[in-house]
Structure 1
């Protein structure tokens, strides 16, 4: 993939479609099990097909330090401010914003504003790998 093509690629092309998500009342222990089983580091918190937060592996590590950790739910530990993008926004725009704001993920919403996927730093690295391999093929 030529480097200039990144400006033309919609973020949807590298997003994880309809990934695992949890509800605000999901217990932290269940979230930990899901993340371990699925091998993921971010899980969106969805309420009625709308994103209301995101939980990272760092959020879970912090929650584990609380005395009441066994009784905590997703809504208690999630980061409520999420970066939401349209599936057609360019990959470079999303990556630059994530870097600038030090974000680990972006939630992708469809044209009806329903949850459709997640774009993570790992997805950005996969795009970078394709760019670098494209240089090797030239």
Structure 2
């Protein structure tokens, strides 16, 4: 039988994964003054479709295979004269390393881009692709269970929590002090990364939702 997690009032809510926890670190990049032939070599050698363009350590744009193709007519036989700064797409889509994954998902959906470049104090530290984002939600069942039981349920009242997890589906067991706590507990569990469904089988000590008849 699994040990239960006892969660008291004031316990912090379940922590969501951050961008830094799933991003790809030290992504390939090119300086702003790099000639296009050097950019093409980076793309081909590393088998990536786009790279951030840096001014020092700060990303100022992104240069993709599509940008290189579009640069052909502009070059008119003198492609060596063009630099990454002249051909890149700007501004670049960035996100802070400490942002939650849900914020990254919204940003990707809103911008329609395939990747976000991750910054910390303006400095490039990683890249977050759609695939990275998906990986953040594909978590081991035991890991999900441990987070649900450990970080628990900030309901304002003491609760006893056990969770059984199969393929991301959580069977929530245990007991809350008040019946009115149960919807809030379920909302917190649904917010745990990796949870795909919740079956709430928790009981309660006191039914505080019973309407009292007037005397």
Shorter-chain TM-score: what band?
A: 0.7 to 0.9
Corresponding position of 2:68 = 60
1:69 is the counterpart of 2:79: yes
**Higher Cα Rg: structure 1 or 2?**
2
Name the residue aligned to 2:38: 30
In angstroms, what is the RMSD of aligned CA positions? 2.3
> What's the offset of the Cα at 1:74?
0.3
From the superposition, tell whether residues 97 and 48 of structure 1 become closer, same or farther in structure 2 (CA, over 3 Å). Answer: same
Give the equivalent residue in structure 1 for 2:133.
124
Higher RCO (C-alpha 8 Å, min separation 6):
1
Q: Which position in structure 2 is the counterpart of 1:108?
A: 118
Give the Å deviation of 1:70. Answer: 3.3
1:16-27 equivalences under 5 Å are: 16-27=24-35
Measured at CA, do residues 41 and 123 of structure 1 come closer, stay the same or move farther in structure 2, by a change above 3 Å? farther
* In structure 2, distance between residues paired with 1:28 and 1:89: 33
In 2, the alpha carbon distance for the partners of 1:30 and 1:64 equals: 15
**Structure with the largest fraction of helix:** 1
- Structure 1 length-normalised TM: 0.80
Q: CA deviation at 1:92?
A: 1.8
Give the SS at the match of 1:103.
coil
Moved over 3 A (4+): 125-128, 133-138
Q: 1:13 corresponds to which residue? A: 21
Give the direction of change, closer, same or farther, for the CA distance of 1:121–1:137 in structure 2 (3 Å limit).
Answer: closer
Which sits farther off after the overlay, 23-32 or 98-107? 98-107
Confirm or deny: 8 A CA contact 1:42 1:105 kept in the other structure.
no
* Long gaps (5+) in structure 2: 1-13, 142-165, 170-215
1:137 Cα deviation after fit: 6.3
Runs (5+) with no aligned partner, structure 1: none
Whether the 8 Å CA contact 2:18–2:97 is kept in 1: the answer is: yes
How many aligned positions are there?
130
